[in-house]
Amino acid sequence: MTQPKRVAVTGAAGQICYSMLFRIAAGEIYGPDQPVSLHLLEITPALGLLEAVKMELDDCAFPLLHDVVCTDDPTVALTKVDCVLFVGAKPRGPGMERSDLITDNGKIFSSLGKILNEVGNPDCKVCVVGNPANTNAYILKANAPNINPRNITALTRLDHNRAISQLASKAGAKVSEINQMVIWGNHSTTQVPDISYATINGKAASDLVSEEWAQNEFIPTVAKRGAAVIDARGSSSAASAANGVIDHMATWIQGTPDGDWVSMAVPSDGSYGIDEGLIYSFPVQCKDGEYTIINDLDVSDFIKEKMMASQQELRDERDTVASLLSA
């Protein structure tokens, strides 16, 4: 029998996970022929709620779900897993920026990073979701030097999907007709949604929508969509975030379609003048479980200036958490 892939998930009794776990158990990350085992981590007071989530997972009788471990012990959750989805962290409320969460949430990532460093599989794939996601991933990477740093990533696929949806709606196109969208930078309001290379049914998007719309409506709408959802819902995006995580992991593992790419926040390799090691969103192609940054796009002065502003925000966040960066 095929050995199950072991997927650890933190914050497993929270909002995002209530949408996400059932899709992982149905095979949406590793595909329809691969059994999975779920290692679900929560803080002790949430273990009762986590047990209820496990009851519902059991009641779905998913053929691919091999077993479910519920625990408040990070060592149990993180030992020798194939991937870790770090969701557990405080969400922001109305009027807050994601960076306002940095002091409380940063500590979670330094402490879990140290444990992952001790018990983790060095090749495990990591996706950080808890905000501020890029800097939390940076903290995790600094605290887990035994884990392949290339495999420590953060989620900007939700922003990528939001950008596709906004462009499709403006152009009167289907989302499936849009390729080569890009999100540069931080998962914050400085992110740079960029349609410069996007195509709609093979035609340049920039010929089909105005530059004025792309610069003054599209960018701020996508960059502030998280806050718009909070205002409308009273709490932060959950189902669409869960969908972004599934897309991020499934693409990384199963690959990008020919002629397309996706956006992932990954450690910079210096491409486009971004400091090496910063967790920055780039366009990437994925094949055989590896991603490659697309490093040869021509970037306009308008976009470049915004990319550098997002880099500066990440540098400032990194300086704020300096005390959490030693392994």
Stretch that binds ligand LMR, among 228-236, 266-274, 288-296, 314-322 (CB under 6 A): 228-236
Contact call for residues 180 and 260 (beta carbons, < 8 A): yes
How far apart CA 96 and CA 100 sit, in angstroms, is 6
* Closest of 107, 129, 121 to residue 12, by C-alpha: 129
**Chain residues 38-97 in contact with ligand NAD, contact rule CB under 6 A:** 41-43, 46, 87-92
Query: Residue 11 interacts with ligand LMR (CB under 6 A)?
Result: no
Q: Return the residue of 84, 85, 108, 126 that touches ligand NAD, per CB under 6 A.
A: 108
How far apart CA 202 and CA 258 sit, in angstroms, is 13
Q: Return the residue of 236, 285, 310, 311 that touches ligand LMR, per CB under 6 A.
A: 236
Looking only at the bridges linking them, the beta strands covering 125-128 and 83-86 are: parallel
Confirm whether 187 is a catalytic residue: yes
Pair of tokens at residue 229: 């959802």
Query: Residue 238 interacts with ligand NAD (CB under 6 A)?
Result: yes
| Residue 129 contact partner, candidates ligand LMR, ligand NAD, none, CB within 5 to 8 A by sort of partner | ligand NAD
Query: Residue 131 interacts with ligand LMR (CB under 6 A)?
Result: yes
Query: Residue 137 interacts with ligand NAD (CB under 6 A)?
Result: no
Q: Return the residue of 39, 98, 141, 248 that touches ligand LMR, per CB under 6 A.
A: 98
Nearest distance, CB of residue 296 and ligand NAD, angstroms: 27
Sign of CA dihedral 141, 144, 146, 151: negative
Pair of tokens at residue 6: 């072991």
Stretch that binds ligand NAD, among 36-44, 163-171, 213-221, 253-261 (CB under 6 A): 36-44
Sign of CA dihedral 263, 266, 271, 273: positive
Stretch that binds ligand NAD, among 14-22, 210-218, 306-314, 319-327 (CB under 6 A): 14-22
Of residues 39, 66, 160, 187, which has the active-site annotation?
Answer: 187
* Closest of 91, 47, 54, 48 to residue 71, by C-alpha: 47
How far apart CA 117 and CA 143 sit, in angstroms, is 7
Nearest distance, CB of residue 188 and ligand LMR, angstroms: 8
Pair of tokens at residue 126: 């990591």
DSSP secondary structure, 235-253, as one string = S---HHHHHHHHHHHHHHH
Contact pattern for ligand NAD over residues 195 through 234, marking x by CB under 6 A? ----------------------------------------
Q: What are 71's strand-pairing partners?
A: 41
**What is the DSSP code (8-state) at residue 101?**
G
**Beta-carbon contacts of residue 303 (< 8 Å; ≥ 6 apart):** 184, 192, 194, 196
Residues lying near ligand LMR in the complex (CB under 6 A) are found at: 91-92, 98, 131, 158, 226-227, 229-230, 236-237, 241
Residues lying near ligand NAD in the complex (CB under 6 A) are found at: 10-11, 13-16, 41-43, 46, 87-92, 108, 129-131, 133, 155, 158, 187, 236-238, 241, 244
Could you give the residue numbers annotated as active site?
Answer: 187
